[in-house]
Amino acid sequence: MSEHRRFKPGNGKKVGIIGAPLGFGAGIIGSDLGTSALRNTEIRGMRILEHLETLGYEVNDHGDAEISVPARVAPENENPRYFEEFYRSSISISNAVIAVLESGEIPVILGGDHSIAAGSFSGISKFFRDKDEEVGLIWFDAHADMNTPETSPSGNTHGMPLSTILGMGDEKLVGLGGFSPKVKREFVAHVGARDLDFGEKELIYSMGLRDQFFTMSDIDRFGMRRCVEGAIEIASRAPGGFAVTFDVDAIDPRFAPGSGTLVRGGITYREAHLALETIHETGQMRSFEIVEVNPILDEGNVTAMLACELILSAFGNVVL
């Protein structure tokens, strides 16, 4: 590989940054602030936009999708919580992602809590579907995010986006964009799970998805390299490449303390980079999303910094 290609992996390709500062899908405040932390955090004196330019990409920041922030407190039994505001915001996020894809740019979506994935992936899926292509999905997370309003103990929408994308849950939400499911179940891979609700486990087995989940226990046994290769193989069954959504709670709390639903026993700092470096090497990644950075809970901004570094690994940054 020539030096130019190694250090300028972007090679003139276009990237479009979109913020999705929606934090009310989580049970705790603060992930809405993740968007501005990700956009403005400096690593070695540069923000994410300049770093991506340094990698050889042409980068546009499209600002934030319009979020309908609830001006009320949800009643105790509302499930999904803040549904109307969430639904409106999801449409807006979906449209923002479609606009970026229509400009020929690879979306970099800055969350926000993980509920934004219902809208963002709806947009990605719709854009490629309209071109007769179909994309897969790789989901990094400590949790399955596969609750439905029926199984969710909390009603928080950030615990439901993967089931929504797969066509289960609230009818209106599932039908966003006019079609469902947003992805064929055989094209979805999940990496990093270690904390699942009973209803989610049942759903995973009943849908035949067990072998598409690379849990922490699988990563212990086979190593991150083999697990991420397995995930890539599954998501690459889709003819149009795949989208990646990365919940920072997939990472062990030692390295990423700034997130709302921490679970011990997660992937290490280096495993997270390895996974995304491996994904970049495929050349098949069609969009990248990072979610659940919560600056209120962070310690010295380390989680936002790590999240920015992970974006760079996903876009081809290498150590040497």
| Residues forming the active site | 114, 141, 143, 145, 158, 247, 249, 292
Least Cβ distance, residue 29 to Mn ion (angstroms): 17
Judged by CB, which is closer to Mn ion: 200, or 247?
A: 247
Taking CB under 5 A as the criterion, the residue among 64, 105, 218, 247 binding Mn ion is: 247
Judged by CB, which is closer to Mn ion: 228, or 250?
A: 250
Judged by CB, which is closer to Mn ion: 55, or 160?
A: 160
CB-count burial class (<10 Å; 0-12, 13-18, 19+) for 215: middle
Helix H or strand E segment including 78: none
**Whole-number Cα distances in Å, 238 to 3, 47, 91, 166, 241:** 32, 33, 24, 15, 6
Taking CB under 5 A as the criterion, the residue among 64, 105, 141, 277 binding Mn ion is: 141
> Would you count residue 289 as binding Mn ion (CB under 5 A)?
no
Taking CB under 5 A as the criterion, the residue among 145, 200, 252, 289 binding Mn ion is: 145
Q: Which amino acid is at 259?
A: S
Least Cβ distance, residue 13 to Mn ion (angstroms): 28
- Per the CB < 8 A criterion, the answer to whether 107 and 97 are in contact is yes
| Of the candidates 261, 244, 262, 245, the residue with the CA atom closest to the CA atom of residue 253 | 262
- Per the CB < 8 A criterion, the answer to whether 264 and 216 are in contact is no
Q: Is 309 helix (H, G, I), strand (E, B) or coil?
A: helix
Judged by CB, which is closer to Mn ion: 32, or 141?
A: 141
Least Cβ distance, residue 246 to Mn ion (angstroms): 9
From the list 135-143, 202-210, 251-259, 282-290, the region that binds Mn ion by CB under 5 A is: 135-143
Q: How far apart are CA 28 and CA 134, in angstroms?
A: 35
From the list 31-39, 70-78, 242-250, 304-312, the region that binds Mn ion by CB under 5 A is: 242-250
Count residues near Mn ion (CB under 5 A). 4
Judged by CB, which is closer to Mn ion: 39, or 114?
A: 114
Taking CB under 5 A as the criterion, the residue among 51, 81, 114, 182 binding Mn ion is: 114
DSSP letters spanning 7-67:
H-TTTT-EEEEEEE---TTSSSTTGGGHHHHHHH--BTTB-HHHHHHHTT-EEEEEEEPP-
Least Cβ distance, residue 299 to Mn ion (angstroms): 20
Residues in contact with Mn ion by CB under 5 A are 114, 141, 145, 247
